Amino acid sequence: MATAHPSTAQPTPFTRTAAPDAAMTTTAAILEARDLTKRYRLGATTVDALRGVSLTVGEGEFVALMGPSGSGKSTLLNLIAGLERPDAGRIVVDGVDMRTLDDDAATVFRRERVGFVFQSFHVLPYLSVADNVALPLALAGRRDDARTRAMLDAVGLGDRGASLPRELSGGELQRVAIARALVHAPRLLLADEPTGNLDPESAAQVIALLRDCVKANGATALLVTHSHAAASAADRMMALTARGVQAAPAVRRA
């Protein structure tokens, strides 16, 4: 890594929604999704991935989202991140209506305010562990070696920064992914089955770490998981079904 230097870049000033819909409570909500519809067209057939889905996540909450395969969980995360656009409905993230952002602005917004953890890690194989973690800062033009080291320490990989990803275990790689997802202090962390490739013991450790890191960074998290054990670490469990998002039966608030 290059020599540490203070970060100089200022966050881009995105416009907060001036007049939110009466139906949308923006107070202390980091994420508001309302009546989202997403339909994929495959030749002559269409797939309704989401039909009128609404979800609110409050600031600082760690929410688990469960639901059967194909119920639209990944689609929902992609829409929230601005990677895809809904056919109908509205998404407000950290006070910004995603409809007001063109593709370039959505990319910048995502880099600054959103962090991701995926099931398959998505680490870059030719970059060191430290450079993988530092990537969101580098992309945002604000490299910060001290912050990168602090995140590596936080996930217990302080001595592995110079390693290459192929030298790490699956659980260690997922910890790299967590450090990378939070290094730029995003407001919202989106995690899509982050423990799907791990054994139950590693999965429990990774979820506990994810929760600790999210809380320590003052972030808000939406975690998609098939694992009840993982979901039970959340403040709130939600289920995505054909009828939309609903509170899951075993709700536990921290």
Ligand X SMILES: Nc1ncnc2c1ncn2[C@@H]1O[C@H](COP(=O)(O)OP(=O)(O)OP(=O)(O)O)[C@@H](O)[C@H]1O
Residues that bind ligand X (CB under 6 A): 40, 42, 47, 49, 67, 69-75
218 binds, among Mg ion, ligand X, none (CB under 5 to 8 A by kind): none
Nearest distance in Å: CB 124, ligand X: 23
What is the closest distance, in whole angstroms, from the C-beta atom of residue 35 to ligand X in the complex?
Answer: 17
Q: Which range, of 71-79, 87-95, 141-149, 232-240, touches Mg ion by CB under 5 A?
A: 71-79
Stretch that binds Mg ion, among 29-37, 74-82, 162-170, 194-202 (CB under 5 A): 74-82
Helix (H, G, I), strand (E, B) or coil at 153: helix
Among 17, 74, 128, 197, binds Mg ion (CB under 5 A): 74
- Smaller CB separation from ligand X, 33 or 152: 33
Question: What is the token pair recorded at 19?
Answer: 């007049």
In a 10 Å sphere around its CB, with 0-12 CB exposed, 13-18 middle and 19+ buried, how is residue 184 labelled? buried
CA separation, residue 220 to residues 51, 182, 230 (Å): 25, 11, 16
Is residue 200 within 8 A of residue 28, CB to CB? The reply is no
Using an 8 Å Cβ cutoff, are 116 and 50 in contact? no
Nearest residue (CB) to ligand X, 71 versus 220: 71
The residue number whose beta carbon is nearest to Mg ion equals: 74
Binding to Mg ion, residues 142-171 (CB under 5 A): none
* DSSP E strands, 73-172: 88-93, 96-97, 114-118
Q: Interacting stretch for Mg ion, rule CB under 5 A, among 47-55, 67-75, 199-207, 228-236? A: 67-75
Conformational region of residue 165, where left means phi above 0, alpha means psi within -120 to 50, and beta covers everything else: alpha
Which of Mg ion, ligand X, none lies near 71, with the C-beta cut-off 5 to 8 A by kind? ligand X
Between 76 and 134, CB nearer to ligand X: 76
CB of residue 155 to ligand X, shortest distance in Å: 25
Q: How far is the CB of 192 from Mg ion (least distance, A)?
A: 6
Q: Where are the beta strands (DSSP E) in the chain?
A: 29-42, 45-58, 62-66, 88-93, 96-97, 114-118, 188-192, 220-224, 236-241, 244-247
Identify which of residues 79 and 155 has a Cβ nearer to ligand X in the complex. 79
Q: How far is the CB of 253 from Mg ion (least distance, A)?
A: 26
Q: What is the CA radius of gyration of the chain?
A: 18
In what order do the strands lie in the sheet containing 45-58?
A: 45-58, 29-42, 88-93, 96-97
Q: How far is the CB of 164 from ligand X (least distance, A)?
A: 29
Contact 188/31 with Cβ under 8 angstroms? Answer: yes
Which positions touch Mg ion (CB under 5 A)? 74
